[in-house]
Amino acid sequence: MINNIERHAKLLKASARAAKNITTILDPYELFQRTVDIICEEFGFYYAGVFLVDDATQYAVLKAGRGEAGRAMLREGHKLAIGGNSMIGASIANKKGRIALDVGEEAVFFENPHLPKTRSEMALPLIVADEAIGALTVQSTEEAAFREEDIDALQTMADQLAIAIQNSKLHRQEERRSRLLKAANRVGKEVSSLLDLDQLLPQTVNIICEAYGLYYAGVFLLDEQGEFAVLRAGYGKAGKAMLAEGHKLRIGTDSMIGACIAMGEARIALDVGEERVHFKNPHLPHTRSEMALPLIYGGRTLGAVTIQSSEERAFSEDDITTLLTMAEHLAVAINNAHLIEELKEAHNEILRNKVFEALTTASTEAIHWIGNKTLPISLTVARLREEIADGKVDLDSLKEDLDMISESAVQIIQVKEQLIGAVREMKPRPVLFADVLRTAAMQRGIPQNVLQVEIAPSAAYIIADSTQLTRAIGNLLQNAIEAGAKSVKVRVHPTEQRGMLEIDIEDDGVGISDDTQRKVWSPFFTTRGVSHHGLGLPATMHVVSQSQGHVALVSEEGKGTTVAMFMPRGRVDVEQAQPGSVKSILLIDDNDDWANLLGEMLKGTKVKLTQSTDLKKFPEADLILVDENIASASLTEVLGALSKAGLAPKTIILTSAINPERVTQYLREGLRDVTVKPYSTGELNELLK
Amino acid sequence: MTTVLLVDDEKLIQRSLEKTLLRAGYDVLTAPDCKTGSEVFSQNASAVDIAVLDLNMPGFDGMPKNDAGLDLLADLKQRRADLPVVILTAYDEVNKAKDAVSKGANAFFVKGREQGLVELIQKILSA
How many Cα atoms are found within 13 Å in the side-chain-facing hemisphere of A223?
Answer: 13
- Which residues lie closer than 8 Å to A344 by C-beta, 6 or more apart? none
Given an 8 Å threshold on Cβ–Cβ distance, is B12 in contact with A376? Answer: yes
- At A627, the pLDDT band (50, 70, 90 cuts) reads very high
- At B89, the pLDDT band (50, 70, 90 cuts) reads confident
Shared domain for A149 and A126, answered yes or no, is yes
Of B12, B90, B91, the CB nearest to A408: B12
pLDDT in tens, A3-38: 667 767 777 777 777 677 666 666 777 778 888 888
Shared domain for A145 and A36, answered yes or no, is yes
DSSP code for A273: T
Of A371, A383, A408, the CB nearest to B23: A383
3-state secondary structure of B30: strand
Shared domain for A433 and A512, answered yes or no, is yes
* Domain end among A410, A440, A455: A410
Shared domain for A125 and A244, answered yes or no, is no
State which residue of chain B sits closest to A370, comparing Cα positions: B90
Tell me the mean pLDDT in the region A616-632.
91
Of A386, A404, A527, the CB nearest to B16: A404
Classify residue A573: in a domain, yes or no.
no
**Cα A187 to Cα A200: distance, rounded to the nearest angstrom:** 9
Query: What's the whole-model pTM score?
Result: 0.47
Helix, strand, coil distribution of chain A in percent, nearest 5? 50, 20, 30
- At A525, the pLDDT band (50, 70, 90 cuts) reads low
Q: Could you tell me the CA-to-CA distances from A172 to A25, A27, A29, A167, A177 in Å, in that order?
A: 12, 8, 12, 8, 8
Q: Is the pLDDT confidence value at A602 over 90?
A: yes
- What pLDDT, on a 0 to 100 scale, did the predictor assign at position A274? 47
Of A372, A387, A397, the CB nearest to B13: A372
pLDDT in tens, A205-218: 998 888 778 899 99
Q: Is the pLDDT confidence value at B68 over 80?
A: yes
- What pLDDT, on a 0 to 100 scale, did the predictor assign at position A125? 93
Query: What's the CATH code of the domain at A445?
Result: 3.30.565.10
* Domain end among A306, A324, A343: A343
Q: Residues, chain B, total? A: 127
CA distance B20 to chain A (A): 7
- Phi, psi dihedral angles at A86 (to 5 degrees): -70, 155
The CATH H-level (homologous superfamily) assignment of domain B3-122 is Response regulator (3.40.50.2300)
Query: What's the CATH code of the domain at A236?
Result: 3.30.450.40
- At B29, the pLDDT band (50, 70, 90 cuts) reads very high
- What pLDDT, on a 0 to 100 scale, did the predictor assign at position A419? 60
Report which of A568, A539, A538 is spatially closest to residue A433, judged by C-alpha positions.
A568
- What pLDDT, on a 0 to 100 scale, did the predictor assign at position A247? 93
pLDDT in tens, B33-51: 999 999 999 999 999 999 9
**Cα A453 to Cα A489: distance, rounded to the nearest angstrom:** 6
Given an 8 Å threshold on Cβ–Cβ distance, is B19 in contact with A368? Answer: no
Q: Looking at A63-77, A109-123, B61-75, which range is the least confident one? A: A109-123
Numbered residues of chain A with Cβ closer than 8 Å to any chain B Cβ: 367-368, 371-373, 375-376, 378-380, 382-383, 386-387, 397, 400-401, 404, 407-408, 526-530
Given an 8 Å threshold on Cβ–Cβ distance, is A383 in contact with B20? Answer: yes
User: Which chain B residues are within 8 Å of A394, Cβ to Cβ?
Assistant: none
**DSSP bridge pairs for B107:** B86
pLDDT in tens, A440-461: 999 999 988 899 999 999 999 9
pLDDT in tens, A77-110: 899 999 877 889 989 999 988 888 765 454 445 5
**Cα A115 to Cα A112: distance, rounded to the nearest angstrom:** 5
User: Which chain A residues are within 8 Å of B111, Cβ to Cβ?
Assistant: 371-372, 375
Shared domain for A189 and A309, answered yes or no, is yes
**Cα A220 to Cα A468: distance, rounded to the nearest angstrom:** 55
Given an 8 Å threshold on Cβ–Cβ distance, is B19 in contact with A401? Answer: yes
- At B113, the pLDDT band (50, 70, 90 cuts) reads low
- What pLDDT, on a 0 to 100 scale, did the predictor assign at position A328? 87
Which 35-94 residues of chain B touch chain A by CB within 8 A? 56, 58, 63-64, 90-91
Shared domain for A501 and A518, answered yes or no, is yes
- What pLDDT, on a 0 to 100 scale, did the predictor assign at position A422? 46
User: Which structural domain, as residue segments, surrounds residue A187?
Assistant: 177-343
- What pLDDT, on a 0 to 100 scale, did the predictor assign at position B91? 66
- The identity of residue B24, as a single letter, is A
* Domain end among A380, A410, A440: A410
- What pLDDT, on a 0 to 100 scale, did the predictor assign at position A674? 87
Given an 8 Å threshold on Cβ–Cβ distance, is A383 in contact with B15? Answer: no
DSSP code for B87: E
- What pLDDT, on a 0 to 100 scale, did the predictor assign at position A599? 93
Classify residue A418: in a domain, yes or no.
no
Cβ proximity of A308 and A337 under 8 Å: no
Tell me the mean pLDDT in the region A229-248.
94
- At A368, the pLDDT band (50, 70, 90 cuts) reads confident
- How many A-B residue pairs are in contact by the CB < 8 A criterion? 60
Of B12, B19, B58, the CB nearest to A407: B12
Q: Is the pLDDT confidence value at A2 over 70?
A: no
**Cα A573 to Cα A77: distance, rounded to the nearest angstrom:** 83
Q: Is the ipTM reported for this complex over the cut 0.85?
A: no
Tell me the mean pLDDT in the region A224-251.
92
Q: Is the pLDDT confidence value at A682 over 80?
A: yes
> Number of structural domains, chain A?
5
- At A160, the pLDDT band (50, 70, 90 cuts) reads confident
- What pLDDT, on a 0 to 100 scale, did the predictor assign at position A43? 79
Q: How far, rounded to the nearest angstrom, does the alpha carbon of residue B105 sit from its chain's CA centroid? A: 9
CA distance A662 to chain B (A): 29
**Cα A275 to Cα A288: distance, rounded to the nearest angstrom:** 9
Tell me the mean pLDDT in the region A596-618.
91
pLDDT in tens, A247-299: 999 998 778 899 899 988 888 876 544 444 455 788 888 888 888 999 998 88
Shared domain for A105 and A214, answered yes or no, is no
Given an 8 Å threshold on Cβ–Cβ distance, is A383 in contact with B19? Answer: yes
Shared domain for A364 and A433, answered yes or no, is no
- What pLDDT, on a 0 to 100 scale, did the predictor assign at position A200? 85
Shared domain for A454 and A488, answered yes or no, is yes
DSSP code for A618: P
Q: Give chain A's mean pLDDT.
A: 84
What value, to the nearest 5°, has the Cα angle with vertex B60 and ends B54 and B65? 55
Among A361, A373, A378, A379, the residue to mutate for chain B (most B Cβ within 10 A): A379
Shared domain for A15 and A158, answered yes or no, is yes
